[in-house]
C-alpha cells in the first residue's frame, strides 16, 4: 500500500517521523538500502516494513511511503522474495494509524 504526503507533513524529516510512529531503520545487506520496520511481537516477524521514495511536484517534495506486512523472512539464502501482504485489513489499519501522525497538508 502506498501513502503520499508532503515532506512538511512529516516534520521535514521522514526518518524522525517514522521513529516517532514506532519504526526503526534497518539497512539491507544486499542493496545497502535503508528501510523501516515495526515489529508486531518480540520476534522479527511478522513486521510492518516501509520503503521511502520521493518526487517533486512543483516546488513541493512528496514522500511516498510504501508499506507492506512481512509475514516471514525469505526461505532460501540469497532470496529476496518473502511472504508479504501489500493490502488487506491489517495493512489498511496501519496506514490509518500512520495518517494520524501527519500534520495538515495546508501547512508550509
- The residues spanned by each domain of the chain are 2-99
In the chain, DSSP finds a helix count (H) and a strand count (E) of: 2, 6
Q: What is the tens place of the pLDDT at every residue in 32-72?
A: 789 999 999 999 999 999 999 999 999 999 999 999 999 98
CA distance readout (Å), 96 to 2, 3, 17, 40, 81? 12, 10, 15, 16, 26
Mean pLDDT of the chain: 89
Through-space distance between the first and last CA atoms of the chain, rounded to whole angstroms: 26
Q: Which of 108, 107, 102 is nearest to 4 (CA)?
A: 102
pTM: 0.86
Amino acid at each position: 500500500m502506498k501513502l503520499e504526503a508532503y515532506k512538511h507533513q512529516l516534520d521535514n524529516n521522514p526518518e524522525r517521523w517514522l521513529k516517532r510512529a514506532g519504526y526503526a531503520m534497518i539497512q539491507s545487506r544486499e542493496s545497502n538500502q535503508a528501510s523501516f520496520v515495526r515489529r508486531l511481537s518480540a520476534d522479527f516477524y511478522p513486521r510492518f516494513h516501509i520503503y521511502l521514495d520521493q518526487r517533486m511536484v512543483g516546488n513541493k517534495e512528496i514522500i511516498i511511503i510504501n508499506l507492506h506486512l512481512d509475514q516471514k523472512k525469505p526461505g532460501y539464502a540469497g532470496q529476496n522474495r518473502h511472504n508479504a501482504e501489500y493490502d488487506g485489513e491489517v495493512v489498511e489499519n496501519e496506514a490509518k494509524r500512520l495518517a494520524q501522525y501527519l500534520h495538515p497538508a495546508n501547512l508550509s
